[in-house]
Amino acid sequence: MRFVPLPGNSFPEFIRAYYDECRGRVAQVEAIAGKWIFEDLMPGMSDFDTRFICADAMTAEDWCRMSTAVGEVHLDLCRSRPEWARILEHLPGVNLTWDELSDEVTYYPEYKQWSFYNCSEPALLKQATETLAKRGWDAKDEYFHLKRFLTYFGPYDRKIDPAINLGVYEERYPLHSRLMHYFTPALQSAVAILQRRTVAGKMESLLLARELVPEASVVGEVIEVVGQGYEAPQLYQEPALSELEERLFDGLKMLGQRLASAITILPGAADTAPQEWKTSVRTIAVDPALTLFDNAKFARLMKGRLYFYANAPSHFATTWLIRNELGRIGNMFFRTPFRIFWELTRGETVADAAEIVPGLAPAILSDEEVACTLAFSRLAMMCDPGQETQRAAEIVEVYDGFFHALHKISHAVRELQRGKGSK
């Protein structure tokens, strides 16, 4: 097996160009961050999980304009720099204001795993990072990392992470996907729980795990293979690839055994197995306002993401990416938030969130927002094969009206919860 040499590291150039392009079109963009730390970005393999921090005065209309503008940046860069297709795979997922980055009400443990690269407001960045650094480990952090560990706990699913937009480097992706996309995130969260502190880097987590759980010898194997740039030809063929998957799962089981005595939010965790934790963790009470915000914050740039996919050049594969979004945005952005809103404001549960939407006008939503929300609820579902691009374009057409509705109910829930907290 002969490997095409990996490309030079263009991430510094990309981050600077991307930030400058986005900030040039959206003045409210004031900082760019990315998940993990720089050493975890592997040229040719990694995308860039951008996070933008914006001015505090952002309105729903501002988010809509920004979504379109950032989608256009992706489209322009994908056309002019086709070698960046992998890095440009999706628009930023989490986008915040400075207040949200520092506010305990909207705290999200992933914030501590971000690296900041460029910022036009250094004083605000210093204040925010100091606030996060002072915040100790608590049940919110444990809950986040336990859920994350359990998300990846299991045998590797070969259908869940296809190799797309990788070009000539696709041959290495089977190992990158298994080691860095599925094994290491679970390990990273396990290390966080064991040490009761968030660890930002993936490689840092692997090195810590090798010391913390020496019986999991597969951790050392992962470190070695990643250090070789996945040039381990003996692992790509069967049965070696299946055997690697078994060793990785065995490693997660060993991590689970160590976690059992470290978990504090699940009574009896020490006497049960991770499969049972998956059921128990769903019973943990979570602030509904936080659940709504956790879902809604990912909606801010989704229109731009779908616009990019609907108009992407032919060298950029989109079918799986669109179907992936259709598999989750209906629940994340519509059904879950609107059900929470109804339960908190009316004290009632609703099976079909679409039933309550017409009654929200005119007191809360406009007629146009109602129409767009109902259209989004219909469109944000899996479509027939071959209809992906059309479906993405259709959602783009109604998204602004829907987002305004989501923004309103999110704001209403946050204000309601703040009012309860002040009594």
pLDDT tens by residue, 72-102? 999 999 999 999 999 999 999 999 999 999 9
Same domain, 272 and 179: yes
User: Measured in whole angstroms, how far is the alpha carbon of residue 283 from the centre of its chain?
Assistant: 23
- pTM assigned to the model: 0.94
pLDDT of residue 292: 86
Same domain, yes or no: 89 and 105: yes
Residue 335 confidence (pLDDT): 96
Give the pLDDT band (50/70/90) at residue 423. Answer: very low
**Domain termination site, one of 106, 135, 164:** 135
How far apart CA 48 and CA 89 sit, in angstroms, is 8
Shared domain for 295 and 373, answered yes or no, is yes
Q: Are residues 379 and 253 in the same domain?
A: no
Q: Which two tokens stand for residue 308?
A: 């990019």
- Range 295-312 average pLDDT: 95
* Burial status of residue 316 (CB atoms within 10 A of its CB: 0-12, 13-18, 19 or more): buried
237 and 362 together in one domain = no
List, in sequence order, every residue forming a beta bridge with 32; answer none if it has no partner: 52, 118
For residues 44 and 55, membership in a common domain is answered with yes
Looking at the fold, whether 114 and 78 belong to one and the same domain comes out as: yes
- Domain-ending residue, one of 108, 135, 162: 135
Mean pLDDT along residues 168-184? 97
Length of the chain: 423
pLDDT for the residue 420: 66
Q: Which domain holds residue 341?
A: 285-423
pLDDT at 422: 41
| Phi/psi-derived region of residue 154, left when phi > 0, alpha when psi is between -120 and 50, beta in every other case | left
> Both 47 and 113 in a single domain?
yes
Average pLDDT for 353-371: 96
Residues 217 and 190 in one domain: yes
pLDDT digits (tens, 9 = 90+) for 204-260: 999 999 999 999 999 999 999 999 999 999 999 999 999 999 999 999 999 999 999
Structure tokens at 146: 């336990």
Count other Cβ atoms within 10 Å, centred on residue 225: 18
Residues 177 and 253 in one domain: yes
Do both 351 and 382 map to the same domain? yes
- pLDDT, average across residues 147-167: 95
Q: What whole-number distance in Å separates Cα of residue 363 and Cα of residue 98?
A: 30
* 167 pLDDT higher than 90: yes
Going by pLDDT thresholds of 50, 70 and 90, the confidence category of residue 32 is: very high
Q: Which residue has the higher pLDDT, 151 or 423?
A: 151
| pLDDT at residue number 421 | 58
Backbone dihedral angles phi then psi of residue 63, each to the nearest 5 degrees: -65, -40
* Domain stops at, among 135, 153, 182: 135
Structural domains counted in the chain: 3
234 plus 360 within the same structural domain: no
pLDDT at 367: 97
CA distance 203 to 219: 11
